[in-house]
Amino acid sequence: MDFGAFSISLAVKDLAQSKAFYEKLGFVPHGGSDEQGWAIMKNGQTVIGLFQGMFENNILTFNPGWDQNTNELESFTDVRELQKQMKDAGVVLESEVEEGTSGPGSMTLSDPDGNAILIDQHR
């Protein structure tokens, strides 16, 4: 299964403080909205999302249709196909993208240790 771009989405208490910390580690802003409480930071091919007040725990995030620079891929596996493959493999999903639709969609699941996984297609 090809899930597209990977990042970790971190639940942070203070967006400005977290951005400043990661900038010290060599991360640079790649997108986001301070007013909305989120920022995307990059260091080489490593991508982290900082999210204040949006969710309780950190999330492993995959974006079908994007590369690590958020460029649209010409060819990719649609989130609905990934959902079908996971369900066929017996993976339990916590939320699903509506079948029979197209375009943006997302689904969530957790690994055996309770780590949240988001598969979030933006196009």
Instruction: Please report the pLDDT score of residue 77 as a whole number.
Output: 96
CB 74 within 8 A of CB 42: no
Residue 63 in tokens: 């974006």
Question: What is the edge-to-edge ordering of all strands in the sheet holding 46-52?
Answer: 28-33, 38-43, 46-52, 5-12, 59-63, 116-121, 105-110
Percent above pLDDT 70 for the chain:
100
How is the chain split into domains, by residue range? 1-75, 78-111
**pLDDT tens readout for residues 25-57:** 999 999 999 999 999 999 999 999 999 999 999
First-residue to last-residue Cα distance in the chain: 18
Residues 6+ apart with CB under 8 A from 27: 41, 42, 43, 46, 48
